[in-house]
Amino acid sequence: MNRYVFYHYFIVCFTNLVMLVPYHLINERFSGSVMAIILSPFIGAIMLYMFTNALTKFPGEGLPEIFDHFYPRWLVSMIMIYKSFITGTSAAIVLSTYAVIITRFLNPEGNPYGIVLVLMVVCAFAATRSTVTVNFVLEIVLILSFPFVGFVLYKAIKSPLMNWDAVAIVAEHYNKMPSLLVIASATFVFTGFLNLSIFNRTFPTNFRFKYRWLLVLIAFIDLLMIFFIPIGVHGTEAVEHYVYIWSATADSTKMAYGFIERVLFLFLIVLLHLALAFTMVGWHMSIEFLRYLLPNNIVNPDEAKTPLRSYVIAGGILLITFSCMFFINQLSMFQLGGYFMIIRMFSEFVIVIWVYLLSKKKVRRDEKRISI
């Protein structure tokens, strides 16, 4: 079962190739990004160990059930609405960003709203499946995508355009203090464990988390490549002129002996898989958080038939997300995305510490009950 922990961690790591993380880090490459990258694995490791250690005290339970043990329903409902907003927004940003990338690089005359609507319908339907089914789909997508992600990164590193002197120049600015924005961007790569807020329901009661240090190490290597490879390919100054920097980086490399010459085509296909899987997981979590608000909700991670309430919630998420696209342009998305990253970071700090303290409280309560 530990492999599913890896899958949820990796889907957040690798989806950052298309999200706001490279954009914000590269924008501040001379003013704190390197220090943020150095600090982020320590912050991520502390959060990972605190959260997973806490979940071992609540076997087979998700975040709604954990809070429901200690607080009144109205307070838990407010927390679940907020968590649903955070996870749903992250998924919506990924999906809408990918639709813009497809339109810009593959079909400039295409309608981005039509593309994103089709992708949203697919993700919304997948998100309504059971938690166990979503786990299986995520596993299939990542197993198929891993070799291609590695190939794209390898081609970028081995590209004749790769200038290691540019990488060294940026790395020399390691002593600059980072801003909140770049810290939030760098630590986001390490937050895949928060998917266990719902998917902890699928683990057996005797489950133990293993190889957590390996998760942090892989995420740190991934963050280094996300940041430094575009700088090496495009240079220390030219790199800031690209909005979707990794799409431009993939388009700068080619396969001399492949039947597809441009790596960009392969890159976009891989991103399609990752973006759909990331959105599926994020919207599934949002649906499960919101289902707590409804009366007579039955928690069953392996339900055979999808209840109507899941379809209704998914339809609401789809409608709200699609409507917001008409009011938020590309520039506003990056500006609002920066604020969202900071809010997300602090809210996740609070959730991790909160759940950790509740786990200690549960241990004391169980010890007291046994002693009586």
- Mapped to the 3 state alphabet, what secondary structure does the chain carry? CHHHHHHHHHHHHHHCCCCCHHHHHHHCCCCCHHHHHHHHHHHHHHHHHHHHHHHCCCCCCCHHHHHHCCCCHHHHHHHHHHHHHHHHHHHHHHHHHHHHHHHHHCCCCCCHHHHHHHHHHHHHHHHCCCHHHHHHHHHHHHHHHHHHHHHHHHHHHCCCCCCHHHHHHHHCCCCCCCCHHHHHHHHHCCCHHHHHHHHHHHCCCCCCCCCHHHHHHHHHHHHHHHHHHHHHHHCCCHHHHCCCHHHHHHHCCECCCCCCCEHHHHHHHHHHHHHHHHHHHHHHHHHHHHHCCCCCCCCCCCCCCCCHHHHHHHHHHHHHHHHHCCCCCHHHHHHHHHHHHHHHHHHHHHHHHHHHHHHHHHHHHHHHHHHC
* Spans in the chain with pLDDT lower than 50: none
66-83 pLDDT, tens digit per residue, is 999 899 999 999 999 999
Q: What is the pLDDT of residue 80?
A: 92
Q: What is the pLDDT of residue 266?
A: 81
Q: What is the pLDDT of residue 294?
A: 86
Q: What is the pLDDT of residue 48?
A: 93
Domain tally for the chain?
A: 1
Q: What is the pLDDT of residue 284?
A: 92
Q: What is the pLDDT of residue 259?
A: 62
pTM given for the model:
0.92
Full residue range of the structural domain in which residue 9 is found: 2-371
260-319 pLDDT, tens digit per residue, is 677 778 888 888 888 889 999 999 999 999 998 888 888 888 888 888 888 998 888 888
The CATH number of residue 195's host domain is 1.20.1740
Q: What is the pLDDT of residue 324?
A: 75
80-115 pLDDT, tens digit per residue, is 999 999 888 888 888 887 777 777 777 777 777 788
Q: What is the pLDDT of residue 18?
A: 66
Q: What is the pLDDT of residue 113?
A: 78
Q: What is the pLDDT of residue 258?
A: 61
Q: What is the pLDDT of residue 112?
A: 73
